[in-house]
Structure 1
Amino acid sequence: MIMANLSYKAIDVDNHYYEPLDAFTRHLDKKFKRRGVQMVSDGKHTLAIIGDRVNRFIPNPTFDPIIVPGCLDLLFRGAVPEGVDPASLMKVERLEKHPEYQNRDARITVMDTQGIEMVLMLPTFACGVEEALKRDIEATMASLHAFNLWLDEDWGFDRPDHRIIAAPVISLADPEKALEEVEFVLARGAKLVLVRPAPVPGVVKPRSLGDPVHDPIWARLAEAGVPVGFHLSDSGYLQLAAMWGGKSTFEPFGSKPDPLDQILVDDRAIHDTMASMIVHGVFTRHPRLKVVSIENGSYFVYRLIKRLKKAANNHPHLFPEDPVEQLRNNVWIAPYYEDDLSALADVIGVDKIVFGSDWPHGEGLEDPLSFTDELVGFSDEDIRKIMRDNALNLLGVKVASAA
């Protein structure tokens, strides 16, 4: 592995674990056994049943075999050579070869070889659970609480060494329970919480993230200085693709993708999520709240700015604060490495860009620090901000040394 020649260790805001089969069941209240996540095996295959339906968000929830980190790089850069079947880029290996995918101590050993000081550790399978359970809010809240117990037990929300910060998952579907869960994870040292970039499921109808009923949650997180992460998830947006004859279920590793699905959905969920936070006044009411978009790319930022400007121009009385400035002040962005990073810095400021590798996913970077190859034209000072300092500012975490 060839590491970038940095005089400091980087902080990667987009690292992932692969959940064991009992991540949602180890601590689940028994009365939700049939309503939450179940793993069912016929001896040859293991299927995830969520609620009462087979869920294929992750086709093989055993993660064995598992995709090789970075093997889909050419696909996501749009650089697959002519005549090469994109499916041939997919490479897999046995999970047993990589204890670092499921073990904290093994992961830290690998981080040391990668030149990484700290990572934000994020889910893989769990990114599809809230959508699958959205019609059963009680089971949603119980399942995510059980998951957070597992997460703290196996990875730790945060420990004194600050090497791995594992982000608990919060659903706002039941606002009172959500606040209880926020208090629970904060008491256990959480430094970041994940909220799905999607409309909030409700008993009667969905709600905006900016609905005032969620204000106690945002207020508590702002008070604690704990940011909200919006990571790519099943946001339910394939219902839009289904209106055009496409799939209505999220299958990110499906064998026959329809390009129209991607064009219709793409980054709409994070665009709409940020719009709801800004337009419905979350940052006006809670100006100290910090949020970060992770693994959603950055091209939504330009469309969002254009639309925010137009809405504020048409309805100035509805915007007591400049909505574009709120985006620039309260939101950090972890862009895709293949994005135009200089253009992003021009519109949102270099201080709000954070480095994320998506390691060890196949669509991420094989070598996390190769992200610096994309920072051509940035000064050494700005590269350090992106690769390290901006993440520390986001998290409000102090570490002993940059060396």
Structure 2
Amino acid sequence: MTLTASEQTTSTVVYDRPFDSDNHYYETLDAFTRHLDPKYKDRGIRVIQRGKRTELLAGSELFEFVPNPTFDPVIVPGCQDLLFRGQIPEGVSPRDLMKVEPLNPAYRDHDVRLRMIEEQGLSGILMLPTLACGVEEALKKDIPALMASASAFNRWLDEDWGFAYQGRIFSAPMLSFADPDAAVKELDWIIERRARVVYVRPAPIPAGYGRSKPFGAPEYDKVWAKLAEAGIAVAFHLSDSGYNTFAAAWGGPERFVPFRNPSPLASVLVSDRAIHDTIASVIIGGVLHRHPTLKIASIENGSDFIHLLIKRLRKQANQSPHMFHEDPADTIRKHLWVTPYYEEDIRKLADVIGVDRVLFGSDWPHGEGLETPTDFLKELHAFDEAEKDQIMRTNVLDLLGLEY
């Protein structure tokens, strides 16, 4: 019998080198169909061929979250570094920075990726989706299909990557709160597979009939309780959070389609609003008070939102003290880990939330990330050696509950 990646065991791992908290794979075309319940085959994510182009449907609508779902060719890691730093040389077009290459086996094969981790000088990586970050938004109008698709994806992930492969690759299964009973059932399976973290979209929770609800709504407490009891961390990773609705009100695009027809207005209007609002929903909704052992992380959402969020929460705590059980800044320091963008003021972030809550994340192998993950260390000039070790290594181990 062939074992899934999660069923393959390993000896004790020593995490004595940097541990990257923001790595990605590129999903195979059957990631959402290989294990999908057949009754949802026309309602989930489907692969279609139009001429020479391979495209995806979400239900009956075109799903364009990634421009090429085969990922072959794919963007070169780190090629857009200067773009995201805002340091494009004079006379160079942003389009000139875009480079593609054939699909690297390390993006899809866990054993090849293990060798890549070794070459990059890493102890381990936290792996998050690429394509899957657009699926909840695409299927939010059909909650049964959404939940079935998330479950199918998790079984693909378990089979191809595992949730803790060889103690070095920690993949985050996808969790949607849209159907809390189904979410608890899925969590039972995830816990059996020894996952240490789940990926959750930072967005209002789809509630059917065009409605949505906050994370603090009572019906979701059973999900939070299960996560807290199992010690599983929640990673809120940058996704299609549906916030282009607000951009559309100002004449921007209604849908988020990366790399196609970029809208500076939409970028400014949407920015980091989704993660700001998500963390506000969790705190004001009392989730972290009712489940004091919960660990949450904001990954690839930047960190500038933290400062404005704390200012706003403190004002509300002063105006509505009955809604808060402590200074909201203390709540954030206790429960939230953050991967800042490498071009941000990381020292300022650490001074606000504590250096023990700052994570190193390279976004490798995405084009907007770092070409060499450990180059993140170059951005930590304002930290001493002990603090650098926390950011580059031990903080994510604390998040995942790993010994060091």
Give the TM interval when normalised to the shorter protein.
over 0.9
2:137 aligned with 1:123: no
The residue aligned with 1:335 is: 340
AA partner of residue 170 (structure 1): L
Q: 8 Å contact 1:130–1:140 — kept in the other structure?
A: yes
The residue aligned with 2:296 is: 291
AA partner of residue 33 (structure 2): T
| Aligned positions of 1:119-198 closer than 5 A | 119-159=125-165, 161-198=166-203
Match of 2:271 among 261, 266, 278: 266
Deviations 1:144-197 (A, max 9, x none): 0000000000000113x3110110000000010011111111111111001110
Q: 8 Å contact 2:176–2:200 — kept in the other structure?
A: yes
Q: Distance in 2 between matches of 1:322 and 1:290?
A: 18
The residue aligned with 1:30 is: 38
The residue aligned with 2:227 is: 221
The residue aligned with 2:205 is: 200
2:66 aligned with 1:58: yes
| Aligned positions of 1:314-329 closer than 5 A | 314-329=319-334
Q: 8 Å contact 2:25–2:107 — kept in the other structure?
A: yes
Q: Distance in 2 between matches of 1:9 and 1:201?
A: 40
Match of 1:79 among 60, 78, 87: 87
Q: Distance in 1 between matches of 2:325 and 2:347?
A: 30
Moved more, 36-45 or 287-296: 36-45
Alpha-carbon RMSD across the aligned residues, in angstroms, is: 1.0
The residue aligned with 2:370 is: 365
Q: Distance in 2 between matches of 1:282 and 1:263?
A: 29
Q: Distance in 2 between matches of 1:206 and 1:278?
A: 18
2:120 aligned with 1:114: yes
Q: Distance in 2 between matches of 1:116 and 1:290?
A: 23
Shift, 1:225, TM fit: 1.1
Q: 8 Å contact 1:284–1:321 — kept in the other structure?
A: no
Q: 8 Å contact 2:350–2:358 — kept in the other structure?
A: yes
Shift, 1:377, TM fit: 1.9
Shift, 1:365, TM fit: 0.2
The residue aligned with 1:232 is: 238
3-state SS, counterpart of residue 39 of structure 1: strand
3-state SS, counterpart of residue 206 of structure 1: strand
Q: Distance in 2 between matches of 1:367 and 1:320?
A: 42
2:307 aligned with 1:302: yes
Deviations 1:95-147 (A, max 9, x none): 1xx10000000000000000111101111000000100000000000000000
Q: Distance in 1 between matches of 2:51 and 2:112?
A: 29
Q: 8 Å contact 2:22–2:364 — kept in the other structure?
A: yes
Shift, 1:43, TM fit: 4.4
Shift, 1:320, TM fit: 2.1
Flag structure 2 segments of 5+ consecutive residues without an equivalent.
1-14
Shift, 1:398, TM fit: 2.2
The residue aligned with 1:384 is: 389
3-state SS, counterpart of residue 79 of structure 1: coil
AA partner of residue 20 (structure 1): T
Q: 8 Å contact 1:47–1:61 — kept in the other structure?
A: yes
Q: Distance in 1 between matches of 2:16 and 2:374?
A: 11
Moved more, 203-212 or 301-310: 203-212
Q: 8 Å contact 2:67–2:258 — kept in the other structure?
A: no
Deviations 1:257-295 (A, max 9, x none): 121101100000000000000011001101110000000
AA partner of residue 249 (structure 1): R
3-state SS, counterpart of residue 128 of structure 1: helix
AA partner of residue 335 (structure 1): P
